[in-house]
Amino acid sequence: MTIQPNYVKEELLHELSESFRLNSQIPPELYSRYRIKRGLRNADGTGVLVGASRLGNVHGYILNEGEREPIEGRLTYRGYNVYDLIHGLEKEDRFGFEEVGYLLMCGQLPTRRQLAEFQHTIGLERALPDNFTEDMIMRAPSRDIMNKLAGATLALYSYDANPDETTVENIMRQGISLMAKFPVIISHAYQAKRRYFDGDSMFLHVPDPDRSTAENILHLVRPNGKYNDDEAKLLDRCLILHAEHGGGNNSSFTVRVTSSSGTDTYSAIAAAVSALKGPRHGGANLRVVKQFDEMKENLHNWKDEGEVADYLRKILDGEAGDGSGLIYGMGHAIYTKSDPRAVALKRAARPLAEKTGFSEEMDLIELVEKLTPAIFAEKKGSDKPMCANVDMYSGFVYKMLGLPRSLYTPLFATARIVGWMAHRLEEVTTGGKIIRPAYKPLAKSVEYVNLDDRG
């Protein structure tokens, strides 16, 4: 086994690290102010306060005279409204995931020169270590690609000449490398799954250092390696919208917890991948897709509002769907009137749906989005605002792009890696203490009973 070459030039690494220190590092005294309050629930009901962050922020309502007042959802990355970021990219007709990765990890948007150098470095870093695919992926293929992604991430530790150092420069270098390699790992893991578990042919393409992340994903996954610009741009927007969602989400907090212990980058990110795998987190879009599969099989007329509404009532009553009584893709813990990720993805998906013959299916999804809030209020007697969340449309986008379902959650991880690395940088540089949760002990003291005296 050989150590993989490092393609990140020292000059670039220094520039990126200094950008992080100047634009995003939180002063220890400010961070400790919130550390003291750990364990106290936020007044707005968003959760238990565990620290402070300059990264993503999620807005779904405001407090007015102590009451929660619903508002249109807003998601910001380093203070930038995600709508503005996407609008700017569309105006200039550019790919933007790498730029968003720079913003999240470094704290500011790059200049044209900085972005070009960053993209070039990512392109060089895409290559996996020699024989990595054969030794770490093909020899032990997995039915679930998320498990293989977590294992491969841990394995990369062995190919790193400096895996344990927790300086900003070293973590930044590792973050760029993981951002570059995730698309290759998941595509090769998918091909191994096809070969060993699905009985299909395996197509291993070489990543292209000159293409964007979105383009490489489509190139690596598709048997013929071909795609068009509209498809790649839509996937790019999907990656941007999944890149970060505040420190309160389960996998990002997992990065924070593990990083606070002083562990290495590969261990922290592998833990985050494992957290994201869960169906209550990253696997939620699969539940949405399966639910719509069932709806399409049982509905006679997808456009009949009355028939669709009756079927949604059956789902809520546990008589249809998976019996859980949940309409997947609807509702969010914080967003009330709208989830900006769902709004942006829906707008981006419509043109491709019309070009590829998926218009009727998208009409059904939008009809479910329209009908569910009133039916939920009717059945549950609740006046709580409800909107479609990002999972309502992300799985549909992946389906339109011809991406296999086994890659839906790994694609989420491929996007979220930049958010995870940004949270790791922030926690390592400002945390200072291990995150140690507490639980109320409920077991009462009992006396030990000898083995022969136990009933």
Catalytic option among 160, 236, 391, 423: 391
DSSP state of 422: H
CA separation for the pair 87, 151 (Å, rounded): 37
Residue 339 burial (C-beta neighbours within 10 Å; 0-12, 13-18, 19+)? buried
Is residue 360 helix, strand or coil?
helix
Helix axes 359-380, 391-400, angle to 10 degrees: 160
The answer to whether 302 touches 308, Cβ cutoff 8 Å, is yes
DSSP calls for 87-113 = HHHHHHT---HHHHHHHHHHSSPPPHH
Concerning whether 391 is annotated as a catalytic residue, the answer is yes
Which residues fall within 8 angstroms of residue 166, CB to CB, at 6 or more apart? Answer: 262, 264, 428
Across-strand partners of 69? 62
Across-strand partners of 67? 64
Question: In the 3-class helix/strand/coil scheme, how is 384-409 assigned residue by residue?
Answer: CCCCECCHHHHHHHHHHCCCCHHHHH
Residue 16 burial (C-beta neighbours within 10 Å; 0-12, 13-18, 19+)? buried
Across-strand partners of 330? 388
Catalytic option among 188, 245, 332, 423: 332
CA separation for the pair 372, 330 (Å, rounded): 8
CA separation for the pair 115, 100 (Å, rounded): 10
Both structure tokens of 234? 């839509």
Closest CA to 387 of 398, 402, 372, 408: 372
Query: How are beta strands 67-77 and 80-81 bridged, if at all?
Result: antiparallel
CA separation for the pair 331, 388 (Å, rounded): 6
CA separation for the pair 239, 106 (Å, rounded): 18
DSSP state of 156: G
The residues that are catalytic are 332, 391
